[in-house]
């Protein structure tokens, strides 16, 4: 029997147990400090050197770079190691799925990665840790070492388009999968959120694991409101057992 293809769309809620705050939740960063949103908005970042300096200072204290994967990330990687085909479509930029053991080629980072930087002029890339070392050494707005252009984190800022190639791959996986889990995502940020609808329309079993209601709950075959750190590992174990009984 053909093994199911499991797609996992992960949002900020999967990483809160790793100490990375949610952005839009009740205690989220954008609610606590609306000005902080300017630091990750492309127009403001490119047009205001002071915004860039503040952005780099914020990144010096970025908890995500020192965060460790939690039980939910590990459970996804364990399902993949069990032999079931798994693809991760993540809205997160923290790289924790890969650190948990998911092969990088099986993780699509829809909103980019905070672990790298990219030049806005020549598109040269490099590690975030190297850029932050330059900030710590006194460069408050480090330019690209290749061409002198403005460096930005390799994330998709507000006002930027998602990479059409990555989005196209994510859509293809959503159409082909047999099970689609939306985990820790408000399913309100498009176009990523729409992948849940694409999967359901193409016959996938849709499972939503999220603390708050989402716009796609009515389409879902199953909605789980319990804490992700315990609920997701338990649900993925059951998924593995279901596959074993179908062999």
* Residue 202 a catalytic site member: no
Q: Is-cis flag, bond preceding 93, omega within 30?
A: no
Q: Given the residues 73, 111, 123, 190, select the one marked as catalytic.
A: 111
SS3 203: coil
pLDDT in tens, the chain (247 residues): 456 899 999 999 999 999 887 665 555 555 556 677 888 899 999 999 999 999 999 888 776 678 899 999 999 999 999 999 999 999 999 999 999 999 999 999 999 999 999 999 999 999 999 999 999 999 999 999 999 999 999 999 999 999 999 999 999 999 999 999 999 999 998 889 999 999 999 999 999 999 999 999 999 999 999 999 999 999 999 998 887 665 5
**Domain chopping of the chain, boundaries:** 1-20+68-111+161-247, 26-66+114-155
Residue bearing tokens 């389409």: 219
Q: Are 92 and 15 in contact (CB under 8 A)?
A: yes
Considering only CA atoms, which of 179, 192, 182, 166 is closest in space to residue 223?
Answer: 182
Q: Are 132 and 113 in contact (CB under 8 A)?
A: no
pTM, two decimals, is 0.90
Using CB atoms within 10 A of its CB, is residue 83 exposed (0-12), middle (13-18) or buried (19+)? exposed
Considering only CA atoms, which of 11, 10, 1, 5 is closest in space to residue 204?
Answer: 5
**235-to-85, 96, 157, 183 alpha-carbon distances in Å:** 16, 20, 33, 11
* CB count in 10 Å sphere of residue 61: 7
Whole-number Å distance between alpha carbons of 138 and 155 = 23
Region 26-66+114-155: CATH code: 3.30.1600.10
Beta bridge partners of 126: 117
- According to the CATH classification, is domain 1-20+68-111+161-247 in 3.40.50.1220? yes
Q: Are 150 and 46 in contact (CB under 8 A)?
A: yes
């Amino acid at each position: 029997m053909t093994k199911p293809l499991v797609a996992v769309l992960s949002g900020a809620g999967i990483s809160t147990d790793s100490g990375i705050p949610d952005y839009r939740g009740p205690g989220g960063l954008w609610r606590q400090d609306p000005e902080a949103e300017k630091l990750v908005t492309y127009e403001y970042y490119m047009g205001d050197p002071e915004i860039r300096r503040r952005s780099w200072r914020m990144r010096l204290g970025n908890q995500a770079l020192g965060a460790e994967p939690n039980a939910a990330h590990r459970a996804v990687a364990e399902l993949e190691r069990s032999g079931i085909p798994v693809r991760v479509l993540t809205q997160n930029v923290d790289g924790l799925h890969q650190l948990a053991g998911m092969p990088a080629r099986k993780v699509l980072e829809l909103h980019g990665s905070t672990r790298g930087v990219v030049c806005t002029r020549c598109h040269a890339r490099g590690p975030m840790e190297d850029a932050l070392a330059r900030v710590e050494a006194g460069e408050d707005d480090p330019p690209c070492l290749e061409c002198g252009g403005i460096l930005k984190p390799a994330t998709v800022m507000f006002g930027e388009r998602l990479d059409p190639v990555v989005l196209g791959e994510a859509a293809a996986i959503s159409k082909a999968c047999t099970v689609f889990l939306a985990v820790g995502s408000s399913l309100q940020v498009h176009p990523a959120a729409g992948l849940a609808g694409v999967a359901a329309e193409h016959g996938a079993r849709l499972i939503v694991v999220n603390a708050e209601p989402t716009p796609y709950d009515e389409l879902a075959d199953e909605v789980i409101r319990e804490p992700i750190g315990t609920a997701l590992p338990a649900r993925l174990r059951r998924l593995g057992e279901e596959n074993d009984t179908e062999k």
